[in-house]
Structure 1
Amino acid sequence: MIPFNKPYLTGKETHYIYQAVLLGKISGNGIFTKKCQSFLEARYGFKKCLLTTSCTDALEMAAILCNIQPGDEVIVPSYTFVSSALAFVRQGAKIVFADSCINNPNIDADKIEILITAKTKAIIPVHYAGMSCNMDKIMDIANKYNLLVIEDAAQAIDSFHNGQPLGSIGHMAAFSFHETKNIISGEGGMLVINDERFIHRAEIIWEKGTNRAEFFRGEVNKYGWVDTGSSFLPSEIIAAFLYAQLENLDAIQNKRKELWNHYYQSLKGLAEKGAFKLPDLPTYATNNAHMFYLVCNNIEQRTHLIEHLKKNDILAVFHYQSLHNSEFYKNKHDGRELANSDRYTDCLVRLPLYFELSKENIDVICNIIKEASNY
């Protein structure tokens, strides 16, 4: 069986976890937490990084920092994971769903402005497959209407928009280190704050609504409850695991890109014959090789392809279901048709991609796809 995903271990994870245990500090915000945050701030120019227990938690922190109130509107792509919307729903927001681009699953920046009302507070661009949304246009719209932009960069570590790291463009950003991502810690995430207005309060929300972080830096002589918040920070065990991954970021990324390119070249001929569509990378975006996906011509073709691969011991999977059609939100949606989001819901399939996958594995997978496609 070729699995869809297999977590990659660099070999240092358990060593650093052992170090954390020996240091006697395994709750949050210890040495390895600071190492991870400093590494990412230095590498990508993020103003402030705060590790979290998940990307969902990072988005929830962002929603609190945006001061979202009941009745506020937040623009979110329909083709995304539930957390992109849920974090703002929890604060009472009304979600206004936007459609995807015709040539990739990202939010269609040309269709955002028409959705803005006097109640709109924020835009949540999701960089699907680590491929940048049109951030120049999104930031122009946000500046025009004085809106906040929170980049959902869950899949976008080490990816760029016109040379600028994803996660460094919006007012805030959320990353994931879930075991399906390029860089992992099992569960885990990170909030990035690029607007200095939010940095001080972010630390308080991160520390259960207390100014505990300031206390441990010696900036105040005691700490107490000063704001809302929750227990968003992960343990040192998670941070120690993550640091081993970050140290190997370049090696991991180079291998994943090599595998991604092998897929692309192997399937390019079939795509040119119309069997399916391959990922279409905009000129302003880079590829971080988070995933390799195909867009089939219809749901029947996709079902057949997934079943044919499974019969040959290869696990391929579809992805998001349009949130505007979800059981939870369909009665709250305004009724607009979001045709591109629904097309990706029905037609997109993700192929196996992980560090230990070989080019020989990919050759086998591509040959099975050719069989299923009858080309």
Structure 2
Amino acid sequence: MNFLANEVTKMIRFNIPPYTGKEDKYIKQAIDSRKICGDGQFTKKCNEKFEEITGAKKVLMTTSGTSALEMAALLADIKPGDEVIMPSYTFVSTANAFVLRGATIVFVDIRPDTMNIDENLIEDAITEKTKAIVPVHYGGVACEMDTICDIAKRHNLVVVEDAAQGVMSFYKGRALGSIGDFGCYSFHETKNYSMGEGGAVLVNHEKNVERAEIIREKGTNRTKFFRGQVDKYTWVDLGSSYLQSELNCAYLYAQIEKPDIINNDRLQSWNTYYELLTPLKEKGCIDLPVVPEGCVHNAHMFYIKTKNLEERSKLIAFLKENGIGAVFHYIPLHSSPAGQQFGRFHGEDKYTTKESERLLRLPMYYRLEKKDIEYVVSKIKEFYEG
């Protein structure tokens, strides 16, 4: 009886922020440098590390993934009356960044296998007002970028990759975020690599680098001043305070200094989940994630798909009763009040709502123990056996 009581009181959190052990040391170094406002040694190290990983022309750390998207919207020169195509199954920041510039959001349906935008539906949604396409790499699994970039090239559109979940993921050998015109990363507490709140914008064409630096520095040419390229700095363009704190970057650098340590650990957990849950998939109880050929994912999340919303709700409650933090994800934006005000859904919602109501995310974080994964799986099996 005591054993059972211990089982019920066991708590496996949905997420635990990554921590490698060097974070305290690097934060102290930042404090000791008396340069903590940003663009100190750790900000520059983070920028350079991600340029090395991704091959982007320029990577600039930002205050959040949201601010990275807002910077990208400014760099894409989005104006009132423009239309921007994206999936409805995404976080609100993906849409907000462009709505703030006056754009109308045009939502299109997703693929049921990857939960990514259906690349075959994009072209039909293009009008004379369309300015950009924003593919969202859900769960760190790449969208079909060859098709998307081909459509953008033929219609003279900007491609902004929302790769918030895609750090250390690749598409046909290219890092997510480095394929379109601009890419956006997030280092929120729930991401594979974290600084609490933070992000980065990837600028993939040299012609946009200088303006990106200006926008990030509140619309001033302050960065050129610090490089000695001008003898004073002044207000020259639109912008905002997107520069990340040096303390946050010091925390992040401890994780990305050797990114494979976290990446390999998470992939091992992901593979363990997949292996242990495959028998339930084969019985037709659940569906498991799909990673298309040519995509290398980063184990950002592990999800299962239940039969329907009712079954998912019951499973979440059952797992919670057994001390397991499992959650659903996005409510499709097109069904929200703001989504209806600032956007429209083009075509049929065949999969967006249906698949979003089936998806259930399981605990996934750096150093998740195998025995905890086995416990989670055992409870899911118990639910379906019951």
TM-score, scaled to structure 2: 0.95
**Aligned with 1:353 (options 345, 364, 374):** 364
Contact 2:99–2:342 under 8 Å retained in 1: no
- Give the gaps of 5 or more residues in structure 2: 1-10
334-343 or 23-32: which moved more?
334-343
> Counterparts in 2 of 1:130-209, with a 5 A limit?
130-209=140-219
Instruction: Name 1:320's counterpart in structure 2.
Output: 330
Determine helix, strand or coil for the equivalent of 1:51: strand
Instruction: Name 2:221's counterpart in structure 1.
Output: 211
Taking the aligned partners of 1:12 and 1:199, their CA distance within structure 2 comes to: 31
Contact 1:10–1:248 under 8 Å retained in 2: no
**Aligned with 1:226 (options 223, 226, 236):** 236
Determine helix, strand or coil for the equivalent of 1:173: strand
1:269 pairs with 2:279: yes
How far the C-alpha of 1:43 sits from its partner, in A, is 2.2
Determine helix, strand or coil for the equivalent of 1:259: helix
Taking the aligned partners of 1:267 and 1:329, their CA distance within structure 2 comes to: 35
Instruction: Name 1:115's counterpart in structure 2.
Output: 125
Instruction: Name 1:369's counterpart in structure 2.
Output: 380
Taking the aligned partners of 2:135 and 2:69, their CA distance within structure 1 comes to: 12
How far the C-alpha of 1:332 sits from its partner, in A, is 4.8
How far the C-alpha of 1:374 sits from its partner, in A, is 2.3
Taking the aligned partners of 1:177 and 1:27, their CA distance within structure 2 comes to: 18
The count of aligned residue pairs is 375
Contact 1:304–1:372 under 8 Å retained in 2: no
Taking the aligned partners of 1:311 and 1:363, their CA distance within structure 2 comes to: 17
1:98 pairs with 2:145: no
39-48 or 178-187: which moved more?
39-48
How far the C-alpha of 1:197 sits from its partner, in A, is 2.0
How far the C-alpha of 1:102 sits from its partner, in A, is 2.3
Identity, % of aligned positions: 53
Residue identity matched to 1:241: Y
336-345 or 44-53: which moved more?
336-345
95-104 or 51-60: which moved more?
95-104
1:11 pairs with 2:21: yes
Residue identity matched to 2:112: I
Taking the aligned partners of 1:318 and 1:248, their CA distance within structure 2 comes to: 31
Contact 1:59–1:83 under 8 Å retained in 2: yes
TM-score, scaled to structure 1: 0.98
Taking the aligned partners of 2:244 and 2:227, their CA distance within structure 1 comes to: 19
Taking the aligned partners of 1:213 and 1:225, their CA distance within structure 2 comes to: 12
Determine helix, strand or coil for the equivalent of 1:150: strand
How far the C-alpha of 1:104 sits from its partner, in A, is 1.9
How far the C-alpha of 1:345 sits from its partner, in A, is 2.2
Instruction: Name 1:282's counterpart in structure 2.
Output: 292
Instruction: Name 1:50's counterpart in structure 2.
Output: 60
Instruction: Name 1:21's counterpart in structure 2.
Output: 31
How far the C-alpha of 1:8 sits from its partner, in A, is 2.0
Determine helix, strand or coil for the equivalent of 2:19: coil
Taking the aligned partners of 1:71 and 1:370, their CA distance within structure 2 comes to: 51
Contact 2:78–2:98 under 8 Å retained in 1: yes
How far the C-alpha of 1:333 sits from its partner, in A, is 4.3
Determine helix, strand or coil for the equivalent of 2:21: coil
Instruction: Name 2:7's counterpart in structure 1.
Output: none
Contact 2:53–2:175 under 8 Å retained in 1: no
How far the C-alpha of 1:269 sits from its partner, in A, is 0.9
Taking the aligned partners of 1:178 and 1:334, their CA distance within structure 2 comes to: 29
Taking the aligned partners of 2:344 and 2:132, their CA distance within structure 1 comes to: 18
How far the C-alpha of 1:359 sits from its partner, in A, is 0.9
Taking the aligned partners of 2:246 and 2:344, their CA distance within structure 1 comes to: 44
